[in-house]
Structure 1
């Protein structure tokens, strides 16, 4: 599966079909990426933001150990492509490039059981923060507070194919948004552009809630960045606690490195939100499949967009994610 976060929705809204990625293809891709990164290790590490390292604000991890960490009933091991993406495999890609901290996003394979992500956080103090997935109808406030004590700082909500005007109207969802404001945690919608107006409405009702939009709200997944979609995303900038992940470059626009065709969209968002409300992320492991690499994602923000100043890059590559997910 190579389209970003489609495994998390159980569907392929506005996306092209996704071929499976075999183990040999995966290993070959990682080996090539590792070779490139080895040559860049010293110079890149020296450039990392303020000597504290970059933060990748969106990564999924999972383990082939399905006995200790069972999959949700909706999935079997055939859905796990690649078969394994552990913290060790992740950091082999990220650390040589100066990425020292990661925001983990609960993988849909595990449903509402966040155990694997929580164990990763506990086993690597200070390195990982988490975005969990919970059942909004099952005591959400108590669950959110408990997960906060274990390193979770955000909660993913997924629109799926729900009614765009009604998917956020449930009582449990309202409790989640209110609790996130009270506890300084984030609500993280994985949505298509048609759901942006409903998020805007909730931002008006809960103005103190941190809201982090994943992957530009998937604008450009069909190959075209539609002005009306970008207008809708930019309207969220009037809410001072909204943020956008500039991420999943491999799946948007031309879907080809160096991804500079996404520059105009990033420039527009930087003007609307300010770079202190934008955060870079890869969406690994999907960013390192089908010939795409980790460093190509990082390099778009680090060196390919001339309109970004050093200050802008510092916020996008570390400070914004640090403020939202590591404070």
Structure 2
């Protein structure tokens, strides 16, 4: 990623991953941002169900470094991890925090189980990606069974804090018969009739431009 960003600086924004259990992760963050040009990182707290891995005392220096360096942080999470993101958002209110894949809404759970994700909208520095919609759905395009979750996020965050996303690129999409990138784009353009044209434009680029300083 860092090599590609260096090669195509006008076409890519690089984010990496750090091990939240590595005691040297603060130094690694500094290296990858200062020396290699990355602009942020992604963390996967949902893969550590038995530990609040992001908010351990060991990781306090990591978040201090990331906040000081202006990092943009992405979280691969579900509702069980929302309290960790809330703590980070409260402690570092100027650091942009992004929730990947809508915070993994689960159609088999009661609607209130998703509320911790929705309540992260209370922090102005938190935004949400409307991505991998087909992966959460049990229906075909436009995946209407997921729309109530998206509408809740829209009501809470507003289009100004919603971003379009897709999930895995490249061969994974073909291998698993996932929607093409064109179909992912059409989902927003044609499938979300509860969004205005201005809101769709905001979600498809305006929010990202603001967060990564592209305007």
- TM-score band by shorter chain is 0.7 to 0.9
Change (3 A) 1:326 1:284: farther
Are 1:129 and 1:151, in contact at CA under 8 Å, matched by a contact in 2? Answer: no
CA distance in 1, matches of 2:62, 2:134: 31
| SS of residue paired to 1:298 | helix
TM-score relative to the length of structure 2: 0.85
- Aligned position for 2:151: 267
Count of residues in correspondence between the two structures: 208
CA distance in 2, matches of 1:226, 1:119: 44
Question: Aligned to 1:203, which of 73, 89, 93?
Answer: 89
CA distance in 2, matches of 1:315, 1:145: 31
CA displacement 1:29-78 (0-9 Å, x = unmatched): xxxxxxxxxxxxxxxxxxxxxxxxxxxxxxxxxxxxxxxxxxxxxxxxxx
Q: Tell me how far 1:299 sits from its aligned partner.
A: 1.3
User: How much is the aligned-residue C-alpha RMSD, in angstroms?
Assistant: 2.2
Which runs of structure 2 are paired with 1:197-276 in the superposition (5 Å)? 197-220=83-106, 223-224=107-108, 226-254=110-138, 256-276=140-160
Q: Tell me how far 1:291 sits from its aligned partner.
A: 5.0
Are 2:55 and 2:88, in contact at CA under 8 Å, matched by a contact in 1? Answer: no
CA distance in 2, matches of 1:320, 1:287: 25
- Aligned position for 1:133: 17
Question: Aligned to 1:281, which of 141, 159, 165?
Answer: 165
1:148 matches 2:33: yes
Which runs of structure 2 are paired with 1:120-199 in the superposition (5 Å)? 120-136=4-20, 137-149=22-34, 150-159=36-45, 160-164=47-51, 166-199=52-85
| SS of residue paired to 2:53 | coil
Where structure 2 has 5 or more consecutive residues not aligned to the other structure, the ranges are: none
CA distance in 1, matches of 2:76, 2:114: 16
Considering fraction of residues, name the structure with more helix: 2
Q: Greater CA radius of gyration, 1 or 2?
A: 1
TM-score relative to the length of structure 1: 0.58
Are 2:159 and 2:199, in contact at CA under 8 Å, matched by a contact in 1? Answer: yes
CA distance in 2, matches of 1:234, 1:216: 9
Change (3 A) 1:309 1:287: farther
- Aligned position for 2:185: 298
Change (3 A) 1:278 1:236: same
- Aligned position for 1:81: none
Q: Tell me how far 1:194 sits from its aligned partner.
A: 1.2
Q: Tell me how far 1:317 sits from its aligned partner.
A: 0.6
Are 1:248 and 1:282, in contact at CA under 8 Å, matched by a contact in 2? Answer: yes
